[in-house]
Structure 1
Amino acid sequence: MSFPEPFALYPLSNFDLYNIRSIFLTGWLVEGIIDHQALRLALANVTQKWRLLAARMVSSKEGKNTIWRLKIPLGDLPDVYSTFSLTTSTSDVPLSHYIPEPISLVSPSLPPHVFLHPDTPRNSIQHEKKNHPLVSIHLTFFQSENAPRTAIGFARPHSVFDAFLASKVIEAVMAELNGREWDVPPLPPPGPIPNELQDYLDASETRPDIASALERPLDIQPLSGYTEIGISGAFRTLFYHVIKGIWWNEASRYIILLPKKALDYLVNGVRSELAREGKDTPRVSSGDVLIAWVWKTIHSTETSPDKKVHVSNFASFRNLLPPNPPSLRTHLHNSFITAPYPLLSISTLQSQSLATIAHTLTSSRQSTPDSIKFQHVVSSSRAIRTAKIAAPFHPHADEIFSVSNVSNSRILEVDWGCISSIKNGKTLCGYRYIQTATGVNFVNVLFISGRLPKDGSIVLDVYLTKDRINLLREEVERVVRLAENSDGR
């Protein structure tokens, strides 16, 4: 089938291209059986109105480089042109085959296949080869007379979507399901269109204040973003996070449902301690408390005091871009680098209090001048384009703890109860996965998925070795007990 005309061609940025070999998958486990016909109609309306979502991924060779673009249809679409994918299946095993119900404080993660159809592409290359839509939704029904459940999976190429765009898509779907108006982005003009973000970053490389820093990117402190890690760094990362972590130490994915009272206990305790020490500025964030808490816990029995560890926490850089044109700060695609956290030794991580570590993390993010942070953005963009192997890792770290906090997107909090067979059916849990064609994932990963609307519990999705998940399980249970017995400090 020839591609419908007219169409726009939108080039991907360097940050998009870094994620060309993976897809992102968000999952919700909800009460009841979801009305897939109602969902199909909503998806059809959203992707028909918002034509970016109806695009296809295309690539072309230009010299030695492969250029990736989105081919966006602008006119009438033939019936054979799919603007989305919606698939369904019924599980041949009960939900209890995978997880306990009610879901415990720490439970195994549901396997990705519950949320992902086997034919859905696992990277952008497969998206192009299969001519597959960008938006893929898969429903798995767990039929039960007393407690029916639906697993809802939203898969999309990571080269196009970050958490910001993904949340906008789900917001639009929810608006359609509930008969509400939503802001439909305007159609782009036909033909080649610029990537404003990439053009702005490329032009910024020649600014005197930026150009001088780019000569020595590792001198931009504290370190943030993407850097050249080289072949040795790539092998070191592969050894620790794949071979040693998965094959030798039986790494697994787990979900932690941290009750709101336990989270408040942790955060309020840290803030109270810092206030007594006169360190209440800047105000430590709940996200940094959670990161520091998990980080300290998984390294609490480490026996190599000089080992250097680092947190690679992904954060949006949209607020660092100029307000004009406004489209820069509302850029829909990948716009994140790692936060400027310090490199710490195991001895420091173990000896300092949770409050001190959390304050260090927040201070590192908030005390760095914006101009320095923007230098990191430009340096990262150039590193992805020019380095043999670039990665969002500290090149001097012996071990990386990767964190992604999407709680601000509130994607977990959407109400699927509006199309559930159970009136006002609740979301029981949320899940996040990065999937690749190889099926290999890195260990030492924490996803802060957000809060469950039913009770305010925070969902933490972790991929850790067996020893570390046991340490974290014990710590979660300890904090929950203390919170239950506390006076709500």
Structure 2
Amino acid sequence: MFGISPPQVTMQSQTDIIIPLHYFDNTPLWRAFILRSLFVFDDVLDSEKLRASLDALVRRDGWRKLGARMRRTAKGELEYRIPNEFSQDRPALSYSHVAHDMNAADHPIASRIPRPSTRPACVGDPDELRGLFQREGDPVKLEDYLNTDEPQLGLRIVSFKDKTLVCLSWPHTLMDALGKSALLHAWTLMLQGRGDEIHIPHGAESDPLAELGKHPTEPHKLASQRMSLFGLAQYGLSNIMDFFRTQENRMVCVPGSLVAKLRETALAELAADGIKTPFLSEGDVLCAWWTRLAISHLPQNSQRTVVLNNAFSLRAPLSADLLPKASGGYVSNAIGFINVLLPAYQVFDKPLSHVAFAIRNAIKELGTRPQVEAFAAMWRESQGRLPPFFGDRAMHMITFSNWSKARLFETDFSAAVVTPGKNSRNPGMPSYIQNNQSGLVMPNGFPIIGKGNSQSLSKRAFRGRTWVLFL
């Protein structure tokens, strides 16, 4: 129905294999972000075993893109240059290791690693840990990759006598959260000596989304509310200071018991309204709850449009054709956006179930295969390859990105454990995870890192601006 992606053009230079980036990797939005994910383990891990296993993975067929260097063509497009052979001079990944002969609690920065809370709480500032996981001179923008021979994938390990910090860094053009999840799974298998179970990632030799957006069969349901380039520019000018001012960030811990109670109440409210067999996910309820906090600075009778811009993985709706479930995972970007538009006063006046159900309905209606195709079609036709935005120039936009399906807290590095921690409930499993980014920092952007089980406490982590938090 939607066609087969053409073979990817591959060229060979004297030192590199040259391939173009996939269409939906090479967009201004993903070019603007450099990402760093920090995993904290309450155990002593073998740093060399971690490095060697990841290095070996990058050298495998289908995974070598992770060690590619990025360059810009004469036409301004991005391309990968994969060394014919990785060597000491041109390594498969950027790596650094620092060992401290002390406990983390005795270190001036590591002592600030957040701990879970039994109540909703702001538990720390993720940027306070940057001195641990980011070296001076590390890439902070796309040009830092384009103008050097830096591999795309970076690994930094910081060892203490009682903890190990593992940080991965990469440009967003390389992969999204579920792409990172596929990478972590393969890395774990390599670490466990199960390399024969690792599959070649889907799309390693061609762009499986090359035809996405070229064959729409219906209009997008929010097409009438799509912002023009002029309207988007007006919105940008109205909020220009939010993009350029230094923003403060916080990690927020929300106990799973609270989320479960909110969900139970919301389902009861929907049932009382006559909605048969309603369904709400924890993510729906969590985003609805946080939205009310995030707009608490607005007047409660405000007519201003609130736009919930939810990042949405395309893997499920494309699983029947372009991204089959049986493939070896997709280590690239496959992200769309699901939008909910509500007047601010409804967020305040209506019960939480109203916003949560609006989010669920939007996912149901806009997450279908034809609607994904329609969204991608608008993305392709836009000037500058910007995704379509919906709303108006005076809107208040909140962006959520829920990474729960990536199951980051289930990362299993137990095969690298040297000494289990005294308080480690799951040796080799992360007790804390945070995400940092450089380049563009979206105002009112909230990644949900995932649901953990540290000290039997369900934990979700947000990254956001200080003023939207109840401290």
TM-score by length of 2: 0.82
Shift, 1:33, TM fit:
3.2
Q: Which runs of 5+ in 2 are unaligned?
A: 1-11, 101-105, 421-426
1:25 to 36, 61, 65: 36
Question: Which residue number in structure 1 is paired with residue 141 of structure 2?
Answer: 123
Find the aligned partners of 1:157 and 1:276 in 2 and give their Cα distance: 47
Question: Which residue number in structure 2 is paired with residue 476 of structure 1?
Answer: none
- Residue 269 (structure 2) pairs with residue 273 (structure 1): yes
Question: Which residue number in structure 2 is paired with residue 337 of structure 1?
Answer: 336
Query: Larger helix proportion, structure 1 or 2?
Result: 1
Shift, 1:82, TM fit:
0.5
Question: Which residue number in structure 2 is paired with residue 107 of structure 1?
Answer: 123
Find the aligned partners of 1:382 and 1:318 in 2 and give their Cα distance: 22
Contact 1:401 1:445 in 2 (8 A): yes
Shift, 1:290, TM fit:
0.4
2:78 to 63, 68, 81: 68
- Residue 428 (structure 2) pairs with residue 419 (structure 1): no
Shift, 1:103, TM fit:
6.2
Counterpart of 2:171 in structure 1: which amino acid? Answer: P
Give the secondary structure class of the aligned counterpart of 1:433: strand
Summarize deviations over 1:217-261 as a string: whole Å, max 9, x none.
79626769x977543222223234554xx5xxxx52222222222
Contact 2:126 2:436 in 1 (8 A): no
Question: Which residue number in structure 2 is paired with residue 443 of structure 1?
Answer: 443
Find the aligned partners of 1:101 and 1:89 in 2 and give their Cα distance: 23
Shift, 1:186, TM fit:
7.2
Summarize deviations over 1:165-186 as a string: whole Å, max 9, x none.
2111111111111222332317
Question: Which residue number in structure 1 is paired with residue 249 of structure 2?
Answer: 253
1:38 to 46, 49, 68: 49
Question: Which residue number in structure 2 is paired with residue 237 of structure 1?
Answer: 239
Find the aligned partners of 1:293 and 1:346 in 2 and give their Cα distance: 14
Find the aligned partners of 1:393 and 1:30 in 2 and give their Cα distance: 41
Contact 1:21 1:122 in 2 (8 A): no
Shift, 1:418, TM fit:
3.6
1:355 to 348, 353, 357: 353
Question: Which residue number in structure 1 is paired with residue 318 of structure 2?
Answer: 321
Summarize deviations over 1:96-123 as a string: whole Å, max 9, x none.
6534656674211332343223332123
Question: Which residue number in structure 2 is paired with residue 150 of structure 1?
Answer: 164
Closer/same/farther in 2, CA of residues 52 and 283 from structure 1, 3 Å limit: same
2:188 to 174, 177, 196: 174
Shift, 1:125, TM fit:
2.2
Closer/same/farther in 2, CA of residues 3 and 103 from structure 1, 3 Å limit: farther
Find the aligned partners of 1:257 and 1:175 in 2 and give their Cα distance: 30
Find the aligned partners of 1:364 and 1:71 in 2 and give their Cα distance: 40
Find the aligned partners of 1:185 and 1:96 in 2 and give their Cα distance: 37
1:12 to 14, 22, 43: 22
Find the aligned partners of 1:11 and 1:17 in 2 and give their Cα distance: 10
Counterpart of 1:463 in structure 2: which amino acid? Answer: G
Shift, 1:459, TM fit:
1.9
Question: Which residue number in structure 2 is paired with residue 136 of structure 1?
Answer: 154
Question: Following superposition of structure 1 onto structure 2, how do residues 283-298 of structure 1 map, counting pairs within 5 Å?
Answer: 283-298=279-294
Contact 1:197 1:331 in 2 (8 A): no
Give the secondary structure class of the aligned counterpart of 2:347: helix
Counterpart of 1:378 in structure 2: which amino acid? Answer: A
Aligned residues: 436
Closer/same/farther in 2, CA of residues 393 and 447 from structure 1, 3 Å limit: farther
Shift, 1:44, TM fit:
1.6
Question: Following superposition of structure 1 onto structure 2, how do residues 197-212 of structure 1 map, counting pairs within 5 Å?
Answer: 197-198=209-210, 200-201=211-212, 203-204=214-215, 209=217
Give the secondary structure class of the aligned counterpart of 1:13: coil
Question: Which residue number in structure 2 is paired with residue 383 of structure 1?
Answer: 382
Find the aligned partners of 1:381 and 1:412 in 2 and give their Cα distance: 35
Summarize deviations over 1:360-380 as a string: whole Å, max 9, x none.
110121034542332112212
Question: Which residue number in structure 1 is paired with residue 65 of structure 2?
Answer: 52
Percent of pairs identical after alignment? 17
Counterpart of 1:286 in structure 2: which amino acid? Answer: E
CA RMSD of aligned residues (A): 3.2
Q: Which runs of 5+ in 1 are unaligned?
A: 474-489
Shift, 1:335, TM fit:
1.5
Question: Which residue number in structure 2 is paired with residue 161 of structure 1?
Answer: 175
Closer/same/farther in 2, CA of residues 15 and 278 from structure 1, 3 Å limit: farther
Shift, 1:136, TM fit:
0.5
Shift, 1:403, TM fit:
0.7
